[in-house]
Amino acid sequence: MAVPKRCALWLFCLLLAGSRLAAAKKAQAAFGDREVLSTFPSNPGFPEGVAVFKDKAYVCGAATSQGTANRNPSTITITDLKTGAVNTVFVSGEDTTKEHQLSCCIVAPTEINGNGKKNSEEHHSLYVMSPQLGILRFDLKYLQQSLYAPPPAGGWIVGNDLIFDRQRRLFVTESNPTPIRGGGKLWMIPPGGGPPTVWLEGDPLATGFPNGLDLSPDGQKLYLTVSTTISPELGNGIVYSLPITAQPPATSALQVVHAYTNGEIPDGIRFGASGNLYVALALTPSAAPSDVLGGIDVLSPDGFPLTRLLTSNGQGPNYLNPANIAFDDKRKSVLVTNHYLACNASSPAQIDSCNFNVIRVYVGDKGVDQN
């Protein structure tokens, strides 16, 4: 039966109005606008690592040096970016009577020669840093846990970030600003896994706090943050670059990309498809009182500051000591873990009262596919 012209016209107008409303809602997202993507369980709390594969976001925690003993095992939450549904996975094998952490995580092909062409969960894994157990690997299809690399002899003091280069070597920062075992370092794990070896040591890593890692878009350099220098006095954070080489380089190969001067603490970093570097700032003490708990810096490829996003910029939830960044390409946004180290962690009850979450920030950019 033919649809009456009046009904057809009404239906057309309704569809047109709906499409315009959807377009208007999409247009309302301004640079820096934020929303809560998901919460993270307060037991154990302190989320740090975040990674995205297709329409799922993987968040890892707890990342804190105290307060996890006799608490829940380290935790990975998996959020469906389309529906918001959340699944939770616990790490197995930890001694939970002692301090146990899970810091950063990345998604990469499971096979040594994996090049990302088999773009499915079956051929990718989540690699996570557990200072107590080593580098763990969870296949994305079944989330089965396996050991990719043991910790070094004596363990990681504060194992932190990790990134693969294009030769499938895995680089790991150890944030250890103490004389114990020579201080902070950059470690390398060979393709396919196995025991780590020291790749870079000595100042500024040894007496600083080596932290975030990323690979340059052309794959020729590592970028890393030293969040703050500890000795001989408390200093400012710095973003460095380091050429990718066949053999361990000297510390003189480190090049300053951006040096902070007002006590800001850079943490995790990620390159955008634009070539700009997005830096999670865990602390911005020189900002207004509402903005001291950090935000995001956007740096040009040569380290020039372009934009700083703080709580007072844009609309949405507060930044609470941001730790790491991952791109949500479909929505041209970044996902940021609110590490919230400012939460009073003097007792489990106080930790349980803190609001740990992951926020999505619209930046109009996509990530770099290093697979």
DSSP string, 20-74: HHHHHHHHT--TT-EEEEEE--TTT----EEEEETTEEEEEE---SSS-TTSPPP
Burial of 6 from C-beta contacts in 10 A (0-12 / 13-18 / 19+): exposed
Strand segments (E) across 244-316: 255-259, 265-271, 277-283, 295-299, 305-309
20 in Cβ contact with 353 (< 8 Å): no
Given this model, what pLDDT does residue 54 score? 93
Type of residue numbered 311: T
Q: Is 163 exposed, middle or buried (0-12, 13-18, 19+ CB in 10 A)?
A: buried
Q: What is the mean pLDDT of residues 39-47?
A: 93
As given in the structure block, the two tokens for residue 11 are: 């239906």
> Does 23 have pLDDT greater than 50?
no
Tell me if 20 is assigned to some domain: no
Q: Is 100 part of a structural domain of the chain?
A: yes
Percent of the chain at pLDDT above 90?
70
pLDDT of residue 21: 41
Establish if 317 belongs to a structural domain: yes
Better pLDDT: 136 or 370: 136
Residue 10 lies in a domain: no
Q: Report the CATH number at residue 108.
A: 2.120.10.30
Which is more confidently placed, 247 or 7? 247
pLDDT in tens, 267-279: 999 999 999 999 9
Mean pLDDT check: name the lowest of 115-124, 309-318, 337-346: 115-124
Choose between 89 and 313: higher pLDDT.
89
Chain length of the chain: 371
Would residue 195 count as lying in a domain?
yes
pLDDT in tens, 301-323: 999 999 999 999 888 999 999 99
* Residue 266: closest CA among 231, 233, 223, 300: 223
The distance from CA 183 to its chain's CA centroid, rounded to whole angstroms, is 23
Q: Strand, coil or helix: what is 216? A: coil
Residue located via tokens 């996570």: 128
**Integer CA distances (angstroms), 239 to 211, 214, 222, 270, 279, in order:** 10, 11, 11, 12, 9
Q: What is the mean pLDDT of residues 16-26?
A: 46
Total count of domains within the chain? 1
In a domain, 16, yes or no: no
Range of the domain at 249: 36-362
Of the listed ranges 119-128, 283-292, 340-349, the least confidently predicted one is 340-349
The answer as to whether 113 is a domain residue is: yes
3 domain residue, yes or no? no
